[in-house]
Structures are given as structure tokens and as C-alpha cells.
């Protein structure tokens, strides 16, 4: 079986500042990969190259077999299959909660308005927000916004979900609900790549934990391996700080 995501020798630089210095990573179907590491280590940039929100400087990225570096690849088609959830939710403020969810499948001709509405209500129910369907995003709490954002991404029926620090902008009491939705998704077998500082979530849900530092992947393995017996000194130092607060 080929990998869902296959990255080879990926580099990304902004002018003279190289933030990714040769990343290699494969993610298999149904796998949940959690990426951890200090701020500025390149993990968010790396995640954003996977749906080409950041243009790689060199290297190879295959998503579902499509080569993102190839200019002839229709990036819109690739993105339809790759859902993304942002730290700051980025809900569309001029649309209702339900319209946020149904917009993409309707505009891209995947579903009729009626079908999209049915699916939208179903997804909102799944994230526990069916009663907010007609609300505007400004009327929601942070946690509710993020759950709507997840439903919005799921409406395109993606086979891969990317999460870019989905709980970092939330009040602590809101974090649990969002993580629960993500946990449910993982249990259903969604292929997920998650950048997060929630070590509990990583331990509990991840199939693999990847540790980033200085633009490199320094260490990776099962949660047990990485959390209980890190080999890389940077990883030891980082985990020591975040786990023993």
C-alpha cells in the first residue's frame, strides 16, 4: 500500500532564512501523526506545505499520489481531499454556521443545496452544534468556532485532515470539547496530521509522535518511545520542560 503522504528532502526558505532543512516523512492511511516541538521549529510551516499554503523551495511532496511540486497538478483537486483546521478558526464571518459548512461542497458542485444541508446538519450534530446552525460565527465561543471549522473541513469528505495548533487559541475549559471531536475522528480511522502542544492528546491518540527542532525532524516513534525514552538531547530538554511543569 502506498503512503497517503510522502515527503522527501523538503526544504523551505524565506530569503536567507531556511525554516525546513530537509524533511522526510511518510504517513500511512488511518495513521494519526502528532507533531511537537518548540515554537519556530518549522512544524507549522511543514504542515502548511502539505496543502501548498506554503510553496516548498525544493524537495518532493506526494499527497494521495499527486505531486504537489509539479506545476501541472491541479492544487484545488488535491485540496478537496485534504481538510485543514487553523489555530484561529478562520470561519467566514458573513455566513451562518451552516453556510460555513455547506459552502464548499455546493460551490464546487459536489452536492446539491439540499444534500449539502442534510450533510451539514449531520456534521454539526457530530461536533455537537446542531442547534447553532443558524447562528453567525461571532455568536459562538472559541471552542464552538473550532468545532464548526472541523465540520466545515469534513464537509468536503477529505481523506486526510491537517490540524494546525487547533487548541492554542482556546480558553482552557474549551479545549476538551475540541480534542474529543478529534479523538472521535481518529477512532473512525481518519488519517490525521496534528501540530499541537497538547501532550496528553499526543500520548493518548497518536500512532506516531514526531519531534521537530531547528527545521529538522529530530526524533520520531510511538508515544511511549518518544515520551518515555527520548534519544535526542533537544527532545529530552523539550519534553522535560513541557511534561514537568
Partner 1 sequence: MMKKHTWLKYSWLMVTMLFGMIIFNTTTAQADTKEPHYVIATDTTYAPFEFQGQNGQYVGIDMDMLRAIAKKEHFTYKLVPIAFNSGAQGVLSGQFDAIIAGMTITPEREQVYDFGTPYYKTGIIAAVSPKSNITDLKQLRGKTVALKTGTGSAQYALSIQKKYGFKVTYFNDSNTMYNAVALGNAAAAFEDDPVMKYAIKNGVKLKIITQPANGGEYGFAVKKGQNKELLAKFNAGYAAIKKDGTYDKIVAKYLGSNESKFAGSAKENDSILGLLKQNKDQFISGVIKTLQLTVFGIIFATIFGVLIGVLAVVPNKFAYGLSSTIIYIFRGLPLLVLAFFIYIGLPSLTGTKIPAIVAGLITLTLNEGAYIAAFVAGGLKNVDAGQMEAARSLGLPYWKAMRKIIMPQGIKLMIPSFVNQFIITLKDTSILSAIGIIELTQTGTVIISRNMQGFRVWFIVALMYLIIITLLTFLAKWVDKKFSSN
- Which residues of this chain interact with partner 1, rule CB under 8 A? 51, 53, 76-77, 79-80, 82-84, 86, 88, 90-94, 103-104, 107-108, 149, 152-153, 156
From residue 119, how far is each of 134, 135, 142 by CA, in Å? 15, 17, 23
Taking the complex as a whole, the smallest distance from the CB of residue 113 to partner 1 amounts, in Å, to 14
Q: Would you say 88 or 241 has its CB closer to partner 1?
A: 88
Q: Would you say 80 or 214 has its CB closer to partner 1?
A: 80
Taking the complex as a whole, the smallest distance from the CB of residue 131 to partner 1 amounts, in Å, to 23
Q: Would you say 194 or 235 has its CB closer to partner 1?
A: 194
Q: Would you say 57 or 90 has its CB closer to partner 1?
A: 90
Taking the complex as a whole, the smallest distance from the CB of residue 225 to partner 1 amounts, in Å, to 32
Taking the complex as a whole, the smallest distance from the CB of residue 163 to partner 1 amounts, in Å, to 12
Burial of residue 53 (CB within 10 Å: 0-12, 13-18, 19+) is middle
Taking the complex as a whole, the smallest distance from the CB of residue 161 to partner 1 amounts, in Å, to 11
Q: Would you say 15 or 109 has its CB closer to partner 1?
A: 109
Taking the complex as a whole, the smallest distance from the CB of residue 44 to partner 1 amounts, in Å, to 12
Q: Contact at 8 Å (CB) between 34 and 196?
A: yes
Q: Would you say 22 or 142 has its CB closer to partner 1?
A: 142
Amino acid at each position: 500500500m502506498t503512503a497517503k503522504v510522502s515527503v522527501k528532502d523538503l526544504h523551505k526558505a524565506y530569503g536567507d532564512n531556511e525554516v525546513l532543512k530537509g524533511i522526510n516523512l511518510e504517513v500511512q492511511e488511518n495513521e494519526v501523526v502528532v507533531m511537537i516541538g518548540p515554537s519556530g521549529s518549522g512544524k507549522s510551516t511543514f504542515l502548511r506545505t502539505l496543502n501548498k499554503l506554503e510553496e516548498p523551495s525544493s524537495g518532493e511532496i506526494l499527497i494521495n499520489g499527486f505531486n504537489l511540486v509539479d506545476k501541472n497538478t491541479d492544487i484545488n483537486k488535491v485540496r478537496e481531499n485534504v481538510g485543514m483546521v487553523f489555530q484561529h478558526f478562520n470561519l467566514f464571518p458573513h455566513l451562518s454556521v451552516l453556510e460555513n459548512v455547506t459552502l464548499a461542497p455546493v460551490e464546487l458542485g459536489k452536492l446539491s443545496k439540499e444534500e449539502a444541508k442534510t450533510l451539514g446538519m449531520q456534521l454539526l450534530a457530530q461536533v455537537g452544534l446542531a442547534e447553532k446552525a443558524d447562528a453567525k460565527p461571532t455568536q459562538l465561543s472559541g471552542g464552538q468556532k473550532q468545532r464548526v471549522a472541523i465540520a466545515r473541513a469534513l464537509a468536503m469528505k477529505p481523506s486526510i485532515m491537517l490540524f494546525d495548533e487547533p487548541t492554542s487559541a482556546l480558553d482552557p475549559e474549551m479545549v476538551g470539547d475540541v480534542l474529543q471531536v478529534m479523538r472521535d475522528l481518529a477512532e473512525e480511522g481518519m488519517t490525521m496530521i496534528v501540530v499541537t502542544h497538547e501532550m496528553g492528546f499526543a500520548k493518548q491518540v497518536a500512532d506516531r509522535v514526531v519531534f521537530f527542532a531547528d527545521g529538522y525532524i529530530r526524533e520520531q516513534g510511538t508515544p511511549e518511545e518518544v515520551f518515555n525514552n527520548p534519544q535526542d538531547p533537544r527532545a529530552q530538554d523539550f519534553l522535560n520542560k513541557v511534561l514537568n511543569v
